[in-house]
Amino acid sequence: MESDAGAAAAGKPEVTYEAFAALDLRAANVIAAEKHPDADKLLVLRIDLGELGERQIIAGIAQQYQPEELVGKTIIVVANLKPVRLRGIESRGMLLATQHDDAVTLLTGMGPIPPGAAVS
């Protein structure tokens, strides 16, 4: 049957709507970006989430993006991800991106989106 083909092809199980709805996806404005001091593949991004305030996230996109090209961009992030330390620096969220072969593309909005706007 076709219903299981998508989940099997992705290599991940299907999730319930409730599991998906638990993610807090938000638009964020990148206000600063720099290379991680201890990792060639990581960037440290300072983001503005509007009413949720500013925070820092770490992203493994340093081989595809230069820090200066990200400043001022609106990206989509998982805002309620538990904080983790990556190479000694705290990350409080995760940006969303697609990857195909070696190409990584950040998910962004098509129009003006205020920082902190919910994504559904």
Domains of the chain: 24-106 (2.40.50.140)
| pLDDT for residue 4 | 55
Residue 28: CB atoms within 10 A of its CB come to 27
Residue 118 DSSP code: B
Q: What is the mean pLDDT of the chain?
A: 90
Alpha carbon distance 83, 11 (integer Å)? 26
Contact 86, 56 (CB under 8 A): no
**Which residues of the chain have a pLDDT value below 50?**
1-2
User: Residue 37 forms beta bridges with which residues?
Assistant: none
User: Residue 15 forms beta bridges with which residues?
Assistant: none
| pLDDT for residue 109 | 78
Three-state secondary-structure class, residue 100: strand
CA-angle at 92, arms to 89 and 93, nearest 5°: 125
Placement of tokens 């076709």 in the chain: 2
